[in-house]
Structure formats: C-alpha cells, structure tokens
Amino acid sequence: MIRSIHESPLYRIVNPRSIAFFGASNNFSRMGSIMLSSVQALGYEGAIYPVHQTEQEVRGLRAYPDVPSLPEVPDLAIIVLPTEVVCDTLEACGRKGVKQAIVVSGGFREAGPEGARLQKDLEAIADRYGIRFLGPNCLGVANPHLKLNPTPITAEGPPGFVGLASQSGSFITQMFNYLHRHGMGFSAALSVGNEANIDIVDCMEYLGACPNTRVIALYVEGIARGEKFIETARAITPHKPIVALYVGGSEAGRRAGFSHTGSMSGPNEIYDGVFKQCGIIRAHTLSELFDYSLALGTLPRPRGNRVIIQTHSGGPGATAADSCGRAGLTLPSLSAQTLEKLKPLIPQTASTANPVDMTFSKNPMDDFYKIPDVLLQEENADMLMVYFLSPGIFIDRVMRDLGVPAESIAAEGEKLIKQQTDAFFSLTRTYDKPIVGFTYRSLQEQMVRNLLELGVPIYQDPDRAARSIAAVIAYYKMRDHVSAK
C-alpha cells in the first residue's frame, strides 16, 4: 500500500500540471477534438499542448507538429490516435521524458490476437521509458476538483465525493448528469480500459488515499490481480467504504464483459466471497452502486438498525415500513416521552405508531423542523426516514389562505422553502443520527433539490432508501469484522 497519494502512479495522471493532447484537431467529429472540447469547457487551468502534424492552432490553442517541439515535458500525454500510430507516439513521448499517459485508442487486446501483440509492444515501450499509463481502450480520467474532464461528454454539477474506478469508460463520461441529478458528484473517476499498465487495483489504491474521495465505487467486469485486490481493499475499508458493482456473475454478463474489455470473470459466489472478506459492499445495479455511495458518503454511523418513519400519508408510510422490514431494519415504538412532546404538534387523526403518520399537517411549518426534531430525540431509535411530498403544494395553500397576493406566492414560497430547508438541514448537524428522505416526485423539485445539494440523501423510492441504510449498517459491521482480524 502507498503511504501517500503522491506515491501512486496515478497521481500526475489525475492531477497533471500540463497535458500534451494527441488526436484533437479542428475537425469536431473526431473523438480527440470532442475530448479536448470537454477539457476546455470545464476550465482546466494547466497548460494544454495539442500535437498535430499540420494544424497551427487547434480549438484556439497553439498546436505543435510533433513531440520534440513541445515547449516543456508535459506531465501527461493523452493519446486519441488511430491504433497503428499509438506505439510510435508513446515512444516519442518516452524519448521526450514524459512519464504519464492515457491511451484512449482502441484496437488492442479487446480486438483479437493481433491487437494483443500490439498491446505487448505498447507495454514494452512504457517499461523501457518508465512510463505509467491508463488504457489502452479507455476514456481516461475526470478530476472535477481540478476542473479536468478529458472525457467525451461535458461535465455537469459541482465536484463531489464519489471516487469511481471503472472497467467501463461509459460510466466515467456518461454519469456526470446522473450523479448530479441524484445529489452526488465525482471526486475523481478513472476508466481503466484494458489495464495494460495500470489496473483497477492501482485505481482503488489511489482513491483510498485521495482526500476528496469519501466513498470508492467500483465497476467490475473481472479482476486479474486477485490477491493484490484483496490486500488493497482490506487496507482501505477500515477507513473508507468501497461499493462494487460486479456484472460478470451471470452467463450473459460474463459474455458481455468479455467482448467489452476481454476481462476474465468468475461466478457470483466467488466475487461475493472476495467482497465480503474485504469489507466491500456489493451492488447489483448501477442505481444501487450510486444509491449506496450517496448514503455512505453523507450519513453518520448508525448506532443500530431502529428507524422512525415520518410521513403525512399512510400508503407511503406503509410501503416504507415494508421496505425497512425487508432490508432488516426495525421500527421501534415511540416512548411515552416522545408521544407527549408530539401531542401539541400533530392532529388527533395522526397515528403515532411507527410510521408516524401525521395524516395532515396542523402547521405545515412544523413538518420539517419541530416534528423531526422530536423524533430525533427518541432514545429507542437510531435513524429517521422522512417522506417528502411537495412542500410547495402545502405552502401555496397556506399562503392563499393567508391572503398573500397571487403574484407574490412564487417568491414567498421560494423563501419559505429555503427556510424549511435550512431548518431541516440544521437537524443533520444537531443530531448524530442518519436522516434519510424519500419522495415519489422529481428530485429536482426545490426543497428536495436544496437538501440533496446540502448532502441530505433523498431517494426516489423508500426501498432504495431502506436498502441504502442497510448498506451503511452492513459496511460498519464488515469494517469492525475486517479490522478485528
């Protein structure tokens, strides 16, 4: 294990001060051009040197005809060239003294025996010059904290805490939008491609040491260095959670993975066993991978598995209870003390069995502060799960009733929602208990969106919320187990 992030071969690949770009031109339909445009869009502040045989300028940047003419030795070479010129380019980089590269180009091991031979040549060149590289057949890295995104799709949303190491490039480049909508962002994302020189274990090790990464997410089609994987993961999970989506377990998934990156996969049971002994939480879908990452990256450690569900609708409360039951969570009864404190806040029709179903709101302003505040004080419970309908609906109603003029309702509503958001969010700072939300409405509605941006996990189904809480509990349980060994 590395003792510092600076020891990782990935350090200057993820944090380059300067980049030589091969394959970008003024023809925008080329992959290289698209990738360079993403880098420019996010505002990377290091030096960028496009290398192009004929163009003087590429996308507004001074271009260089070849490697020797580069004005300095760049930290990183990004190569998006036709397969047949990749080896020569890496060789030229090596001669210049370049020590890090990303080889985006495909046509290597994944393309058959001839490609595999070419990949051997590439590896030999790297070894000769002491170059460390990601790929070939990968989409490289994204480091939003450095405003660096050399992937083909423009980044969205602020930098975050999810560190992804992926055997699929798509999940680096195509997930910015997904993560942003769900209240997350990448700390760093690494696409390993054919893993000729740097593999997913190196990436995991890097992310383990990365200070911006609170949770490591892995997308795995097959692991080659099994022992090293286990050793590295076991060193990380006692201080940082790892969630892994492994798709090679089913026959169909296995075949798909093989034709994708040529990786060798194994039966589900073997991977289940490996993950378990490493303290890694397994996800079965991409949604689970990021649902669990969100909870693990935002929630404090739960003291137990006892949940209070707060709702103002019976059905959503019952589905949440059912999901909690299935996820191994329990619903304790409220103590006499809590019932006493709740009484003035809820109508007579309310049910104070757990789920706490307010049926309707006596005062809608209490829904997101006074009531959860009381519920969070309950000694018989370890967590709070809250159903979010759309406070906008209630607020509109109250304001109309108070005679607020129609034209002021939107602005006043926004202000009130902001107040409620802040009040609810303050509870996550007051109590050291996990607070999770669920809604059947869009995550983009104002209050939910505000809370997501503040780091309160809210899910689109109580089942996803319950299973994410269960993942957090499972992580800490496994962590105790791994640490004890």
Question: 288 to 327, contacts with a second copy by CB under 8 A?
Answer: 309, 313-326
Query: Quick one: which of 277, 335, 351, 380 contacts a second copy (CB under 8 A)?
Result: 351
Identity at 225, one-letter amino acid code: R
Q: Which of 250, 363, 408, 430 binds a second copy (CB under 8 A)?
A: 250
CA distance 47 to 195: 27
Task: Give, as ranges, the residues between 431 and 460 that touch a second copy (CB under 8 A).
Answer: 440-442, 460
> Residue 383's closest CA among 328, 307, 322, 455?
307
- Residues 72-91 binding a second copy (CB under 8 A) are none
Q: Minimum Å distance from CB 407 to a second copy?
A: 17
Binding-site size for a second copy (CB under 8 A) equals 80
Distance set, CA 178 to CA 148, 157, 272, 291, 397 (Å)? 18, 10, 27, 11, 33
Residues 166-205 that bind a second copy (CB under 8 A): 166-171, 174-175, 177-178, 181
Q: At its nearest, how many Å lie between a second copy and the CB of residue 171?
A: 5
Q: Tell me whether residue 111 or residue 345 sits nearer to a second copy (CB atom).
A: 111
Asked if residue 406 binds a second copy (CB under 8 A), the reply is: no
State yes or no: residue 462 binds a second copy (CB under 8 A): yes
| Region near a second copy per CB under 8 A, out of 47-55, 90-98, 252-260, 476-484 | 252-260
Closer to a second copy at the Cβ: 187 or 311? 311
When asked if residue 430 is in the footprint of a second copy (CB under 8 A), the reply is no
- CA 198 from chain centre, in angstroms, equals 21
Choose, by CB under 8 A, the member of 3, 211, 252, 429 that binds a second copy.
252
Interactions with a second copy, residue window 352-371 (CB under 8 A): 353-355, 357, 359-360
- Using the minimum distance from each CB to a second copy, give the nearer residue, 98 or 200: 200
Q: Which window, 42-50, 51-59, 253-261, 408-416, contacts a second copy (CB under 8 A)?
A: 253-261
- Measured CA to CA, the distance from residue 327 to residue 170 in angstroms comes to 30
CA distances from 358 to 313, 361, 392 (A): 7, 6, 18
Among 93, 153, 216, 375, binds a second copy (CB under 8 A): 153
